[in-house]
């Protein structure tokens, strides 16, 4: 059964393929790497034959080329540097905020050898890793104390556990029971912290009286969670942080994106960390890698006694920040001491604050680098990363005619390049946004587009 001419021909073609060892021997590579590359090439060809591939069988030369390509792919570092031409400034899939030069240098220094991560150099005794950023956090936010963990989700979890993890209640507006990336939901965070959730208000309207009625002897804290990745419009009402803090119970304010810059117009609608501290919030947490413009981190500032409880909680060790992220965060925070320097050197702030003239100059240079088939048009960019979802950053972009293969094929070719270029497709055109490219990156992107179009 099933042993007709077709199956016999397939068996013969499969037997004709070279052995893994024979193909590996033709590769100039360490044996283990050569065997893995040879096996990948042969398995790919076997899959093609079983799927009914037409034409002549791939000879040894073709398989050798495939194996060499597999070797090259295995030699590439991962994750890879890519050129972000999407116009999405805080692009989660592309690693969110690019680091300032000072932060990159700080990471290199910390990685070069040992560091005084938890050593007090003055006394020789064990120190705290939070010491490296606490002074800057206090200076920049006005808080009594501060610390850092590995991301903002961890910060929210730790704050809830520290203030109400013994089974007490955390009061949250129904309009703030949000889900952010990776199915991370506020109710689940509260449950994992050991606290009990008390919902107040409605999806679109929550008043101060709703909170006041829910507060009682079992209340551990009120949690205000900023809806970073969406907005409710129309018949809505929410309670400002100053009013919440006036209720006389601890308030945790998760402000999300981490706004420390006071003078960037695009950030006007995002909650500022300093405002929440000044209002009297017990603990304020935010991301380090969104609008703050640093590495992945969760920043917590607030009252000294509450920060001490968070540091002493068993979760604090599981959620602690590593030395490289800590070095990058410290260097980024240091830039904020000079607001003008921060706007010049922190890439996220630079992109948000980019002038029309600067973007136009870069767009024209990119169009000229590509040549025929490229034009400058206007389109909107996004902040991304769950921040400012309604904000459209309109400006000049370069639209590329993709040729007969279509925009999807051109985008795929650019992703396969070195370095990969990531654009966006709109109405059959490939758009390259200069807002998320430096001048040097725009030159590289233009060259990559030329190669892809010619291919």
pLDDT per position as a tens digit, 146-169: 999 999 999 999 999 999 999 999
Correct CATH for 101-345 of 3.40.640.10, 3.40.50.720, 3.20.20.70, 3.90.79.10: 3.40.640.10
Model confidence, pTM: 0.89
pLDDT per position as a tens digit, 103-146: 999 999 999 999 999 999 999 999 999 999 999 999 999 999 99
pLDDT per position as a tens digit, 241-288: 999 999 999 999 999 888 898 888 888 778 899 999 999 999 999 999
Q: By CB neighbour count within 10 A (0-12 exposed, 13-18 middle, 19+ buried), where does 305 fall?
A: exposed
The answer to whether domain 83-92+350-454 has CATH 3.90.1150.180 is yes
pLDDT grade for 51, boundaries at 50, 70 and 90 = confident
What is the pLDDT at residue 383?
Answer: 85
pLDDT per position as a tens digit, 402-435: 988 899 999 999 999 989 999 999 999 999 999 9
Segment 359-386 mean pLDDT: 91
| CA nearest neighbour of 259 among 227, 304, 294, 215 | 294
pLDDT grade for 1, boundaries at 50, 70 and 90 = very low
Higher pLDDT, 55 or 195: 195
The residue ranges of every structural domain in the chain are 5-75, 83-92+350-454, 101-345
């Amino acid at each position: 059964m099933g042993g007709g001419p077709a199956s016999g021909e397939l068996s013969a073609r499969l037997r004709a393929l070279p052995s893994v060892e024979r193909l590996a021997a033709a590769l100039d590579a360490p044996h283990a790497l050569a065997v893995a590359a040879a096996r990948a090439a042969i398995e790919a060809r076997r899959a093609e034959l079983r799927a009914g591939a037409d034409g002549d069988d791939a000879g040894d030369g073709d398989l050798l080329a495939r194996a060499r390509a597999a070797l090259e792919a295995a030699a590439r570092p991962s994750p890879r540097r890519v050129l972000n031409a999407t116009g999405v400034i805080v692009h989660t899939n592309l690693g969110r905020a690019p680091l300032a030069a000072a932060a990159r240098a700080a990471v290199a220094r910390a990685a070069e050898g040992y560091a005084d991560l938890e050593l007090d150099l003055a006394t020789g005794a064990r120190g705290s890793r939070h010491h490296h950023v606490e002074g800057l956090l206090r200076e920049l936010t006005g808080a009594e104390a501060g610390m850092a963990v590995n991301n903002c989700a961890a910060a929210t979890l730790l704050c809830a556990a520290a203030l109400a993890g013994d089974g007490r209640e955390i009061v949250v507006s129904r309009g703030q029971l949000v889900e952010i990336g990776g199915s991370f939901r506020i109710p689940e965070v509260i449950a994992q912290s050991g606290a009990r959730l008390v919902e107040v208000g409605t999806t679109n309207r929550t008043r101060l009286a709703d909170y006041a009625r829910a507060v009682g002897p079992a209340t551990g804290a009120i949690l205000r969670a900023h809806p970073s990745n969406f907005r409710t419009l129309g018949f809505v009402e929410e309670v400002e942080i100053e009013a919440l803090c006036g209720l006389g119970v601890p308030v945790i304010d998760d402000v999300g994106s981490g706004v420390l810059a006071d003078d960037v117009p695009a950030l006007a609608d995002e909650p500022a960390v300093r405002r929440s501290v000044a209002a009297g919030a017990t603990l304020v947490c935010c991301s380090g890698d969104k609008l703050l413009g640093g590495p992945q981190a969760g920043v917590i500032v607030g009252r000294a006694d509450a920060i001490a409880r968070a540091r002493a909680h068993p979760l604090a060790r599981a959620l602690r920040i590593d030395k490289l992220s800590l070095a990058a965060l410290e260097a980024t925070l240091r830039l904020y001491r000079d607001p003008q320097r921060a706007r010049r050197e922190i890439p996220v702030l630079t992109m948000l604050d980019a002038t029309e003239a600067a973007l136009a100059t870069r767009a024209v240079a990119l169009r000229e680098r590509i040549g025929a088939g490229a034009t400058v048009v206007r389109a909107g960019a996004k902040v991304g990363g769950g921040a400012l979802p309604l904000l459209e950053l309109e400006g000049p972009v370069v639209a590329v005619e993709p040729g007969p293969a279509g925009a999807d094929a051109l985008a795929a070719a650019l992703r396969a390049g070195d370095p990969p270029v990531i654009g966006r497709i709109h109405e059959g055109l490939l758009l390259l946004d200069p807002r998320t490219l430096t001048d040097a990156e725009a030159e590289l992107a233009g060259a990559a587009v030329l190669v892809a179009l010619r291919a």
